[in-house]
Structure 1
Amino acid sequence: MSHDEDGSAEHDWLTIIAVQYFQTVPLRSFDWPQNILHKLDVSTQDAILRETVQSELGKSYPPEASYSLRFLKAILEKVDATGEEHSEALLQAYLELLSNASGDKLTGDLSRACYKSYPLPTKTSSTVYLTLHEEPLKISQGTTGLCTWEAALRFAEYLLNAAPEVIQGRRILELGAGAGLLGLVCLYMGASSVELTDVDEGVLERLKENVDLNSQMIIDRMARDFGGHQSNPPNIRVSKLDWESVDFDDIASRNAEIIVCADVVYDPILIPPLTSVLGSLLRTPHHGHPTGFREGWVALTMRQEQTYKEFLSALTRNRIRYERIRLDRVPRLFYHEDNVGEVALLHLTVADS
């Protein structure tokens, strides 16, 4: 999913607006390019509309309808502040969204799919998006796994910006994959294979949907940047893995060199089964890895210091060595919510390797 870059200054500010819109950046935090705030004429309004709500991506995989409505309303209000004439196309798009929203309320139909699209770096002059079907609420359908959380975003930024060699050409296993951003980023970066695991059936179905949604984009990336064959499907699969009821022989046999997980350390009850699974995976020899053993990476948001300390203690009890990786100098590619807590990234190896 991409749009071509024309190299003009106009494209730069349009891209700034579009990447925020597709990530559903809250309007209170939206970074409006200053050079357009004084020139919101009809042609500028139409250009914004074409790059967002009425773009191919915006029509096929739109953000939550109420967000799009607020976005267009914000533009109309800014037009009013400049004294410019409203674009007929922009007004029509706003009224259509308003009518649809009113109809949904009357019929009780709240089933419209919502998408978030995350901009990814590319070697070509285009903006490439990883698009995920996500729920607008952090907890939905009885699970936290239907949206992308902060630690997954920061971990992905670390891999994309600072440590691509961790992933490229490696076999990856993700624990608690949720909506799938981290594992799909690994595949996008050139992992030889990725296995996404979770336990909730609804999350697993959503994972499969998001894999299918991004397969062609990843095929194109492999062909363009890694010399892959465009006809070959990405080597990725989704499977169920319950940490509390696990076959350790099955765990040990999984053909992965690198274990990754993000935002899985939030409930102390989950720490013992998680660290037990990590220990089993990491202590299984893997002759394809330079050390002869697998390695692990865990990103977690430090909401409660005590939970973080309990996790570190559990790693030690399971003879897992950890090293904290600095993230403060890693450039940010994605929008991050305010006041969500610091993200810790830990590199894991077995203490007796």
Structure 2
Amino acid sequence: MGAQQNDISSSHGSLVKLKRLYLQSVPAGSIAFDALVPVGRVDWGFQDRLYNTILSKDATPYQPADAYTRRFLKFLIACLERNLAEDEELHDSILTLYSNLMSKPDSLSDATMPTFITYLLPANKPPYRGRGEEGDDTEVVISERKSVLSADGHTGSRTWEAALALGEYFLSATLPGSKRIPQCRVLELGAGTGFTSILLSKMGARYVLATDGDERVCDAIQRNINLNGRRNNISVSQLLWGTSQEDSPIYTEPWDLIIGGDITYDVRDLSDLVFTLKKLLVANRRAGAKVIISATVRNEITLSEFNTELSAAELNFEVREVSETGRQIWFYGNDTPIRIYTISLE
């Protein structure tokens, strides 16, 4: 009985990992399927749990795109066939789902249509309960275009790796200073899809304001907020960096934490970004406000210029690399370096 219980527990953990990858629409060719099924012991019971945990419409209200599911099933079925126990067959429901998707014609617009990406939160690190929330606090659901920047030409149509690293930082690390997320009023700059803001709202932040310079991106953020259930501790607003909106009331509101994910990629925006960071920090000096930014290292010259701008503005900053061990919750690869900046006045 004990061995059987251990097998069920182990398979459950594997299925949760597989579900995490599936709902994030991780490229099927990058998934180590063989490591997530019982080697040579795949039976009907395991396949039934797999189908009901991951693939059925009841498993999640927001399914990945059909084209992705079809490719995922192609790799999955091949793996299951390799590991079937003696006298076992493939599950009818899995084969039927794959057959239906294979017979469904692709639309020419499928590659650019938004799709739902679900980021499961770790069960062993449950978020704090938000205020007045409705919806599922075990996941963050984002409408994204994974294959293109955007049909409108902006970069806010997908959740970039640095935003995932920033989210993992807040779930795994201790904030600088003595405050915890539930004590913080949080301002996000260049929020993109709104992933990090929504995550922090589900972690129980006192209040989160997601901002972006593009009105269309702000509209998309609001739609993503709505996808995750109504709550009264998060909203969205347009904010242009630099002097363009230096009279915005956002600068006069109290903030404990100013954050940004992948907002340092364009050297032309760095001086305006640093202007905004310093203005916010100065306005919230007494509260000991901090800035935390995750930066994907695409070009060392760009980040060197960012460092120069910070120093010229007399802002203190510490930088640490996101290690491989810091990429455990969501899939965002190990190929591209990501750095976490902690910025303050003192």
Name the TM-score, length of structure 1 as normaliser.
Answer: 0.82
Q: Distance in 1 between the 2:296 and 2:148 partners? A: 14
Aligned residue for 2:329?
333
The C-alpha deviation readout for 1:177-202, integer Å capped at 9, x for no partner, is: 01111112222222100000012233
Q: 3-state DSSP class of the match of 2:319?
A: strand
Cα 1:255–1:71 change in 2 (3 A) is same
Q: Distance in 1 between the 2:98 and 2:37 partners? A: 24
CA RMSD, Structure 1 to Structure 2 (Å) = 2.5
Cα 1:171–1:30 change in 2 (3 A) is same
Q: Distance in 2 between the 1:115 and 1:26 partners? A: 15
Q: Distance in 1 between the 2:59 and 2:197 partners? A: 22
Aligned residue for 2:149?
139
CA contact (8 A) 1:243 1:274 kept: yes
Cα 1:29–1:119 change in 2 (3 A) is same
Q: Distance in 1 between the 2:317 and 2:229 partners? A: 33
Q: How does 1:180-199 map to 2 (within 5 A)?
A: 180-199=194-213
In the alignment, does 2:346 pair up with 1:348? Answer: no
The C-alpha deviation readout for 1:57-97, integer Å capped at 9, x for no partner, is: 54x21112211101111122223334652322112111222
Task: Name stretches of at least 5 consecutive residues in structure 1 with no aligned partner.
Answer: 1-6, 217-232
Q: How does 1:1-353 map to 2 (within 5 A)?
A: 8-32=9-33, 33=35, 35-58=37-60, 60-82=61-83, 84-100=88-104, 102=105, 104-105=107-108, 113-122=114-123, 128-141=138-151, 142-163=153-174, 165-215=179-229, 233-243=231-241, 246-250=244-248, 251-285=250-284, 287=286, 289=287, 291=288, 294-325=289-320, 327-328=322-323, 330=326, 332-339=328-335, 341-350=336-345
Q: 3-state DSSP class of the match of 1:104?
A: coil
Output the amino acid matched with 1:56.
D
Output the amino acid matched with 1:308.
L
Deviation at 1:155, TM superposition (A): 1.6
Output the amino acid matched with 1:98.
M
Deviation at 1:286, TM superposition (A): 5.1
Task: Name stretches of at least 5 consecutive residues in structure 2 with no aligned partner.
Answer: 1-7, 127-135
Q: 3-state DSSP class of the match of 2:247?
A: helix
Identity %: 28
CA contact (8 A) 2:57 2:63 kept: no
Give the number of equivalent residue pairs. 319
Q: Distance in 2 between the 1:302 and 1:325 partners? A: 12
Q: Distance in 2 between the 1:159 and 1:121 partners? A: 12
Comparing 37-46 with 238-247, greater Cα deviation is found at: 37-46
